[in-house]
Structure 1
Amino acid sequence: MTRVAHALEASIGVVANPVSARDIRRIVANAGNLQITDRVNIVLRLLSAAASCGVKRAWIMPDRGGIRSLLERHIRRGTDHSLPAIEFLDMQPTSTVEDTFTATRLLQRMGVSAIVVLGGDGTHRAVARQLVDDNSAVPIAGLSTGTNNAFPEMREPTITGMAVGLFASGRIARAQALARNKAIEVRIEDARAGTRRDIAIVDAAITHDHSLGARALWKTNSLVALYLAFADPQAIGLSAIGGLLQPVGRLESGGLAVQLAHGGREALLSLHAPIAPGMVRPVDIASWQRMVAGEALPVLAEAGTVALDGERELGFEHGQRVDMTLRENAFFTVDVARCMGFAANAQLLRYTSSLNH
């Protein structure tokens, strides 16, 4: 079958991170970890539900962590007829974030209607970043399998699969199915090296650290400032700090900027925040303010690192300028709750019983 023919089918993509939730925060916080078999079962439940709602084909990112091999073993048994046709993307996995970037680009070429992501905030950020870079309208449907999961919602994969299937098969229009999401754009300017840009889909944090280190950020003593696309008091992670100060909803206009203190007179108040699973820590707050979309806020620290959605990604030095800007309508997600509510009200899942004939 040609790629043109594939594009005519109701198809979805799946990016399943086999190593999400294995950073240092899992060790220090006594948190659990999904095994590969659990991740495969999530994918199978998702795909079966999507197929029941009209999805004919699923393109899946290959990996070296065991997800592909277990899925192929399941398919070879030939006993599960509930699944759509499954194909793996033509790419060589490297077991780095580049796999996610490559898979997201390939899935767009294959014409998928939506990309389902299994991972934490970092995996979802990688998919969203590629979509933003490509100016793509393909939406994400998130499933939480990471450490800090402020962005992906905790939901049974069967329900997510049904919502994605109803959208991908054209039974729910974009206007009813999708939500627009905010992002924090990070810009680092250097007179000689040029400009670097990246995004955070939940929080961008400034630290005093001068190296990326273990990347995962779980200590608060080096934090200088936070810039939040949304701030949910029920979330885990750095965004919970803002959520406990002044909640900002995902669909609400604007964001939140928080300046942190480290004791002394500059601390306006202290609060206890759940910065990782099982880790509630005191945080000293100097000030906070709402972020307005499109208005760049300069970072006051002269050197340090920028952590994007909980992981140190960018370093900056003296003489470099760092700005944070809230971008609204940055990318799309499948609004699962809204899709299922629409399906119920529009009676999309009702069928006439054969007993009435």
Structure 2
Amino acid sequence: MTLVGIIANPASGKDIRRLVAHGSVFDNIEKVNIVRRILLGLESAGVDKVLYMPDYFDIVPRALENVHLKISVEPLNMRCEGTQEDSTLAAKLLEEEGAKCFVILGGDGTNRAVAKGSISVPFMSVSTGTNNIFPCMVEGTIAGMAAGYVATGAVSVEDATFPTKRIDIMIDGKVVDIALVDVALYDDIFLGSKAIWDMNRVKELVLTQAKPSNIGLSSIGGMVIQWPMPQDKGLHVILGSSDSEEGFIVTAPVAPGLIKPVRVLEFNSISIGDEICFDMSPAVIALDGEREVELLPGKKASVRLSGSGPRVVDIERTMWLAVQRGRMTNHGK
């Protein structure tokens, strides 16, 4: 039996950046519509069963209304708490159930939460968040078909997916969390509303990605390098205050519609396995754009670039390979 897991975050696309920046609101009704199309795509690709994360909005049950599917669609046996830990637990349970692919609706934070639960199952990441560097914008029908071809083995995982990096966050030498795109050392003592928008408080960045076309903190890295970063490299950026005269200033889209001058003091390429120590406490460490880890006085924090991120479905390549292998043709049968 071919099993696919769906993790749709009802809270993605709704944080405070709608107030302090100009992020669009991604409502849950649209997520319902996307999931409906994903289910139809999965069925057409030959998937037998879908297990999904239950949520307070009932995204998947609503998607099943007014649509006739032969595919089995059932909720995971778990309690919904309405926190990011739901996504982490769902990923663990889906891996245990033998899921061959995850279809994830959310932004960078949602994918990070899923990766904390499992990195052994390929990700089909559909962008419905605020910062959407890790997931991609894709029509739900195509997302379902591509995930289905990977899950059924019509296209192998090796052919259909690409590897990603992650950043391990360590306190006193122990890994306490991970990030998929960016880590920021933030001069504050409270997690607060989590989102970051005051660039004067950002002191250091460690990035798995650095593209000028990104939105969020990783765009800063994209403004200081001249060429795309290799798969086995990351970037460490040291920032200064806006009133300083050291370094140089870049202009970066640090949040949707929020384009800020940022003073860069230093930037250096890092390699897989390299560890960066943060010499500030107390402070807060932001992961993929959100304040998550409180660094208490006297604690030592460091981050390490790792090549052990989840594998992600390459949609374009997967669909081409499915065509070449005859999955779209019945020759009159």
**Aligned counterparts of 1:304 and 1:248: Cα–Cα separation in 2:** 32
Alignment deviations for residues 45-75 of structure 1 (CA, whole Å, 9 cap, x no partner):
1111111011111111101124245235x0x
**Aligned counterparts of 1:259 and 1:177: Cα–Cα separation in 2:** 36
* Residue range with higher mean Cα deviation, 227-236 or 266-275: 266-275
Task: Decide which of 81, 90, 102 is 1:115's aligned counterpart.
Answer: 102
How does the TM-score come out when normalised to structure 1?
Answer: 0.88
Partner of 1:329, secondary structure, is coil
Partner of 2:200, secondary structure, is coil
Give the conservation status (yes or no) of the 8 Å contact 1:271–1:284: yes
Task: Decide which of 138, 143, 161 is 2:121's aligned counterpart.
Answer: 138
Corresponding residue for residue 305 of structure 1: 284
Give the conservation status (yes or no) of the 8 Å contact 1:180–1:251: no
How does the TM-score come out when normalised to structure 2?
Answer: 0.94
Give the aligned residue type for 1:18: P
State the Cα distance separating 1:329 from its structure 2 match. Answer: 3.3
State the Cα distance separating 1:148 from its structure 2 match. Answer: 0.9
**Aligned counterparts of 2:200 and 2:171: Cα–Cα separation in 1:** 23
* Residue range with higher mean Cα deviation, 260-269 or 122-131: 260-269
**Aligned counterparts of 1:267 and 1:58: Cα–Cα separation in 2:** 55
**Aligned counterparts of 2:132 and 2:325: Cα–Cα separation in 1:** 32
Corresponding residue for residue 138 of structure 2: 155
Partner of 2:82, secondary structure, is coil
What is the aligned residue count? Answer: 333
- Structure 1 gaps, min length 5: 1-8
* Residue range with higher mean Cα deviation, 221-230 or 81-90: 81-90
Task: Decide which of 18, 38, 52 is 2:30's aligned counterpart.
Answer: 38
**Aligned counterparts of 2:258 and 2:125: Cα–Cα separation in 1:** 24
Corresponding residue for residue 324 of structure 1: 303
Is 1:170 the equivalent of 2:150?
A: no
State the Cα distance separating 1:343 from its structure 2 match. Answer: 1.9
Give the aligned residue type for 2:204: A
Corresponding residue for residue 10 of structure 2: 18
Give the conservation status (yes or no) of the 8 Å contact 2:88–2:115: no
**Aligned counterparts of 1:167 and 1:298: Cα–Cα separation in 2:** 39
Q: 1:267 to 1:159 in 2, by over 3 A?
A: farther
Give the aligned residue type for 2:154: R
Please identify the structure whose Cα radius of gyration is greater.
Answer: 1
**Aligned counterparts of 1:232 and 1:347: Cα–Cα separation in 2:** 36
Partner of 2:223, secondary structure, is helix
Corresponding residue for residue 95 of structure 1: 82
**Aligned counterparts of 2:301 and 2:227: Cα–Cα separation in 1:** 23
Alignment deviations for residues 303-324 of structure 1 (CA, whole Å, 9 cap, x no partner):
3110000110111133221111
State the Cα distance separating 1:250 from its structure 2 match. Answer: 7.5
State the Cα distance separating 1:181 from its structure 2 match. Answer: 1.0
Give the aligned residue type for 1:199: I
Q: 1:347 to 1:248 in 2, by over 3 A?
A: farther
Q: 1:83 to 1:274 in 2, by over 3 A?
A: farther
Partner of 2:168, secondary structure, is strand
Give the conservation status (yes or no) of the 8 Å contact 1:206–1:225: yes
**Aligned counterparts of 1:15 and 1:256: Cα–Cα separation in 2:** 30
Corresponding residue for residue 209 of structure 1: 188
Give the conservation status (yes or no) of the 8 Å contact 1:230–1:247: no
Is 1:290 the equivalent of 2:269?
A: yes
Partner of 2:163, secondary structure, is strand
Corresponding residue for residue 322 of structure 2: 343
State the Cα distance separating 1:248 from its structure 2 match. Answer: 7.0
Corresponding residue for residue 203 of structure 2: 224
Give the conservation status (yes or no) of the 8 Å contact 2:13–2:27: no
Partner of 2:260, secondary structure, is strand
* Residue range with higher mean Cα deviation, 25-34 or 152-161: 25-34
Give the conservation status (yes or no) of the 8 Å contact 1:104–1:130: yes
Is 1:184 the equivalent of 2:163?
A: no
* Residue range with higher mean Cα deviation, 194-203 or 244-253: 244-253
Partner of 1:105, secondary structure, is helix
Give the aligned residue type for 2:2: A
CA RMSD after TM alignment? 1.8
List 4+ stretches of structure 1 deviating above 6 A: none
**Aligned counterparts of 2:304 and 2:252: Cα–Cα separation in 1:** 24
Give the aligned residue type for 1:11: L
Corresponding residue for residue 3 of structure 1: none
State the Cα distance separating 1:279 from its structure 2 match. Answer: 1.1
**Aligned counterparts of 1:249 and 1:315: Cα–Cα separation in 2:** 32
